[in-house]
Chains A and B, each alone.
Chain A
């Protein structure tokens, strides 16, 4: 009897599996990402809903792999690509992180026609397009935008010490001198990657957008006096930071500011989502400004989707990309994720106070790309800069640091 029951169950399970395999959908699209938790996963779900409503005949397969900032997902993806088994579309940081790895490996296709037919060129900032292109070909569809060059501050700490929000490097140094003299930690800083994040914003704040962009195209000399000045500024900024930075995550560091234990913190605008989670109020518990020296410049990073070379179902993949670039898709995703649309025509009322101000800047500022978050340098170059920075933080030798940066640009960047 028991044996019969067992056999019956097995058969039923097998039948169920077979039946579920032949659903009514005509085609399917497999989308690979590392959005598995929090606002990201919820945002993706919202966008999938939009997709299902528009394309009821295409089955959406969510192939998300967990792991912070996609480290695991990217290793899995690399294995699949090397085995010739690509998903139809996958997530990646817009810019050189995608281009340097996947265009160089001939794994993704240009999307210029899609940009033309969907009219995206008219609704995305003009200065964005070259940053996500290679040789005039656009390679990905940005879904959301985060800002990297944000200076978060504690309004009451600044007020108590009679310090105004700085707009230039010199004002910033003066402000931090005052704070330090008053016994306040001027700058909250975290582990190594947050130091690279700080470095890119100080490079931008000292060099300005044109020379900063030139660093990544080979037009600005990494060994030049401008860069030396920028690195000196960076070294000076580091002296104002908390002494235990190496043991703090970005959240720990950002929290010091809203708790009143430090005055400033430089972090991308995902920090705002974290402040809200902590129950803090914008403008009273935390304020924001562009990092000194970068007023009028929007240093961005973005999650974007690509079209695989040899996608199992290219038509379905393009349908997905259309949704990812659409107003409807981006309006579904971004308020949940806590970022702004890559398009400049999203409805502002869907967003909170900080994000609304970011939307204004996105539509009007000069756009430059982030280093730490994959826009301006390919993976190899970034990892060499990371190593050079780590050695610099340890030994403080600025001349060695600069020559290591020159060498990194020669080895893995466009410098000759």
Chain B
């Protein structure tokens, strides 16, 4: 009797959040899908059926091609950079140096800052002005007589987006470090010692023992960083405003919907973003759920 009561009570208690999720997440996803299949352009809703027209047009849209290219470059540089740097920092901290706690917080701190703040600061640092108006990194390079390093940062032709990824690496590599550090601490010392006794040098220990054992951590890092980089918006807008050379799908979506009133096209971009993130996330969630139930 009291078990039944508990069950009803628990259903009652979670029903508001289930309802809210159903309406505000899945309901709105469904509505966006509907809008993306419509002719809606202008202030007033227009649900005339357009089929897949908005999607097909996007793939022949030169701006969307720029967006895809930029997203791929950004994701590549950002994910690879954060993982390499994060892993390196974690290995360094794992050597048992003095003041480890201090350095750990130091490297983790940038994550506490919002992308907007990071963007504004890096906008100053990556100032591409030349001649008398040198500033930021370029001025520093000039003081250090490293003039060959002076470059145009995010205004570099075709590859400017990679400079934005640098700011994102600065922000997120500390986080990657933290999860790698946790992973490293989870590896029992016996394994290293056994390898040493078998005659492995330090490099071999990392190559054959540590890295394989860390592969689930790397997978988590890949997925967390990967889905963040697909959705990037605020960092780019804070560094460079809304300019086409640094355009990504999220910026295109915002501009075409709210500045250009192409609601159908904007919804289509939104759905494509959702799908691309889902492709990355859903297998991961299934995998984690499965391993967790097994445990």
A residues sitting closer than 8 Å to B (CB atoms) are: 71, 74-75, 78, 81-82, 101-102, 104-107, 191-192, 243-244, 246-247, 261, 379-380, 382-384, 386-387, 389-391, 393-394
Contacts and interface: CB of A to CB of B under 8 A. Distances in A.
Majority SS of interface residues in chain B?
A: loop
Contacts of A247: 123, 126-129, 154-155, 240
B132 A261 contact: yes
A380 B152 contact: no
A240 to B, nearest CB: 15
A299 B194 CA distance: 80
A188 B243 CA distance: 18
A191 B241 contact: yes
Contacts of B43: 78, 81-82, 101-102, 104-105, 107
Nearest to A249: B241
Contacts of B128: 243-244, 246-247
A82 B43 CA distance: 8
Contact of A71 (B123, B132, B258): B258
A71 B259 contact: yes
A203 B242 CA distance: 23
B45 interface: yes
Contacts of B62: 391
B41 interface: yes
B44 A391 contact: no
Nearest to B133: A261
A77 to B, nearest CB: 9
A394 B44 CA distance: 34
A192 B62 CA distance: 17
Contacts of B45: 82
Contacts of A261: 132-133
A394 B159 CA distance: 11
B247 A379 contact: no
B244 A244 contact: no
B260 interface: yes
A222 B42 CA distance: 23
A271 to B, nearest CB: 18
Contact of A246 (B132, B243, B247, B258): B243
B132 to A, nearest CB: 7
Given A244-B128, A244-B130, A244-B155, A394 B244 contact: yes
A382 B261 CA distance: 11
Given A243-B130, A243-B152, A390 B243 contact: yes
A217 to B, nearest CB: 20
B260 A383 contact: yes
Nearest to B262: A380
B260 A380 contact: yes
26 contacts: A71-B259, A74-B258, A78-B258, A82-B44, A82-B45, A102-B43, A104-B44, A191-B240, A192-B242, A192-B244, A243-B128, A244-B152, A244-B155, A246-B240, A246-B243, A247-B154, A261-B132, A261-B133, A379-B259, A382-B259, A383-B259, A390-B63, A390-B245, A391-B66, A391-B244, A393-B245
B163 to A, nearest CB: 11
B42 A380 contact: yes
A141 to B, nearest CB: 21
B220 interface: no
A78 B241 CA distance: 23
A101 B42 contact: yes
A407 to B, nearest CB: 11
Most buried by B among A107, A192, A247: A247
Contacts of A387: 63, 244
A74 B258 CA distance: 8
Nearest to A78: B43
B262 A383 contact: yes
A202 to B, nearest CB: 19
B255 A383 contact: yes
Nearest to A381: B260
B261 A101 contact: yes
B256 interface: yes
Nearest to B65: A391
